[in-house]
Structure 1
């Protein structure tokens, strides 16, 4: 039998106004995720932001989704048909996550690789070039569903985000034949 401890106290109910943005954010922080940089081309170069709201939507056709706050400047470039990049950061790319997450470092010189007119972070665990397919309104965010046009990946440990901080992945046991185990089709 599994036992759980409720360290947060009483349940917070969203329907009666008891759910605050702070409490909601703290609960969402219990979900560990990877860290990405979303990037777009501009006439004068590129614009990028750190995000962990990234997910796969469909294998056939290959679709992904990102969720971006309405107040983020990158929204003006993410229109239907626009191309953008997703770079999945490695555990050694935390400085990029901070830089594009609102803590700019004037000494940091990101390695930018261009594919299909889209800027991508060099040396990432995976990169995707995608095209905005659908846009959905979601409260204070916009959800962009996009078709994957090109991707590249390499075996590298990911940068993770949990509970408001960064972390690294540590396998409990190594996968046979390499870093990433084979994923059965029924899991996808």
Structure 2
């Protein structure tokens, strides 16, 4: 399989951008940018993300681990780049603690979860999580990724 072609075709699917994080904002938070996120089930409430084994976050994953998935708003491209290793922001200033979970401030929404399963899948692992709480800010638009570039949401009727 041609990896470049695989990436090109996958890039034709517009996705939102999330920051997956764990830890305590008073000490250490491990986080990564992820656009490989999906809602799996409503009953029970389950979500899933994909993680590369080379990330610092992966090193800490285990069943029962508390994980936050923050959905970024269109004004948070710089935060996405930070956790993708492309720039350096004040890491601690980006988070707020909600029920002892590290949540990105001013995100479009978040899921507070616990790891249920870690499933090997090629060069990544799929992390299935039980949703414990969630919230959405209806007043902001999502940051999106399409064809290798960030995009912003426009509400245009077709």
**Quick check: TM above 0.5?**
yes
Structure 2: any 5+ residue segments left out of the alignment? none
> What residue is the counterpart of 1:25 in the other structure?
7
TM-score, normalised by the number of residues in structure 2: 0.92
Name the CA shift for 1:107/1:41 in 2 (closer, same or farther; >3 Å).
closer
Report the alpha carbon displacement of residue 76 of structure 1 after superposing the two structures with TM: 1.4
| Bigger Rg, which one | 1
Which range moves more in the overlay, 113-122 or 90-99?
A: 113-122
Report the alpha carbon displacement of residue 20 of structure 1 after superposing the two structures with TM: 1.7
Report the alpha carbon displacement of residue 108 of structure 1 after superposing the two structures with TM: 7.2
Name the CA shift for 1:23/1:110 in 2 (closer, same or farther; >3 Å).
farther
Structure 1: any 5+ residue segments left out of the alignment? 1-18, 174-188
Contact 1:89/1:124 (<8 A) preserved: yes
Ranked by relative contact order (alpha carbons within 8 Å, sequence separation 6 or more), the top structure is: 2
> What residue is the counterpart of 2:143 in the other structure?
159
Count of residue pairs brought into register by the alignment: 155
- Find the residue that maps to 1:64 and give its secondary structure: strand
Contact 1:110/1:121 (<8 A) preserved: no
Q: 1:1-188 to 2 correspondence within 5 Å?
A: 19-41=1-23, 44-106=27-89, 110-155=93-138, 156-173=140-157
Which range moves more in the overlay, 51-60 or 107-116?
A: 107-116
Specify which structure has the higher proportion of strand: 2
Report the alpha carbon displacement of residue 160 of structure 1 after superposing the two structures with TM: 0.2
